[in-house]
Amino acid sequence: MTVRARGFTLIEMIVVISIITLLTGLLMPAFKMVKRESHNTNCLSNLRQVFTAWQTYQTANKGVMPMCEFLPVVTPQAIEGGLPNLLSKLMPADDRAWLCPADEDPDSTSTGTSYTYLPGLLRFTPQVQMEVLQVLLNLTPTTSQRQRDVIRLQTESKLVVKLFENDTKGLFPILMDSADRHPGTRVPRNGVYLDGAARAVKVEQSVAAD
């Protein structure tokens, strides 16, 4: 006796498809959350890696903080300035750690880094620049422009170091996401601080940096 295999009816196929669609709809948010958490974890790891290179530079230069633009500048010839170039001997400028895994903005990734270097912004505060000007005015007329540039950077570095040391509340990170890239937290930006800790940036600080 031959047994004929029974196929799916149209109604059964519709039910199966509906169940698959429902399960997909339920699982997709979970998949997205896992992906966001993975990006967030890798971002924090990146910031700690950069901080290690940053700290090595500072130690090698007797406590002088690296001083450069807060973001690299993209020119037709190349990417100029910025922390990745300044620390390139300690950590290659094309190292993936300079890019947040959640950064999909070509305007950001074109600079070679997803992170803003806060000392590069704080160096332009009136408090710092007034003291820098005073130092430059006291230089002799024979001081070359190259020497003036070196003295300016060294002075800015020392003054910015003081700003960070006086930040008892830990509001200022050394480096932070240049945009909100980690939804799901109150402030979806990560930063690494003077003590080497990488964590979410506080609200008041994110507002001040924008």
In a domain, 1, yes or no: no
**Mean pLDDT of the region 93-106:** 93
Confidence (pLDDT) at 88: 94
- Please state the domain count of the chain: 1
In a domain, 5, yes or no: no
In a domain, 103, yes or no: yes
Q: List all residues 6 or more positions away from 34 whose beta carbon is below 8 Å from its beta carbon.
A: none
Q: Which residue range is the domain that position 34 belongs to?
A: 10-209
Q: Which of 30-34, 70-74, 130-134 has the least mean pLDDT?
A: 30-34
Confidence (pLDDT) at 210: 43
pTM: 0.76
Q: What is the pLDDT of residues 68-82, one digit of tens each?
A: 999 998 888 888 889
Q: What is the pLDDT of residues 10-21, one digit of tens each?
A: 776 777 777 777
User: Is the pLDDT at 3 greater than 80, yes or no?
Assistant: no
Helix then strand then coil, in percent of the chain rounded to 5, is 50, 10, 40
Confidence (pLDDT) at 55: 94
In a domain, 4, yes or no: no
For 132-159, letters b (16+ CB in 10 Å) and e give beebeeeeeeeeeeeeeeeebbbbbbbb
Confidence (pLDDT) at 24: 65
Distance CA 30, CA 208 (A): 33
Nearest partner of 154 among 173, 136, 166, 168, judged by Cα: 136
In a domain, 44, yes or no: yes
In a domain, 34, yes or no: yes
Confidence (pLDDT) at 5: 54
Confidence (pLDDT) at 208: 43
Q: What is the pLDDT of residues 158-207, one digit of tens each?
A: 888 888 888 877 788 999 999 998 877 666 899 999 889 999 987 554 43
In a domain, 95, yes or no: yes
Distance CA 41, CA 60 (A): 29
Q: What's the pLDDT band for 209 if we cut at 50, 70, 90?
A: very low
In a domain, 2, yes or no: no
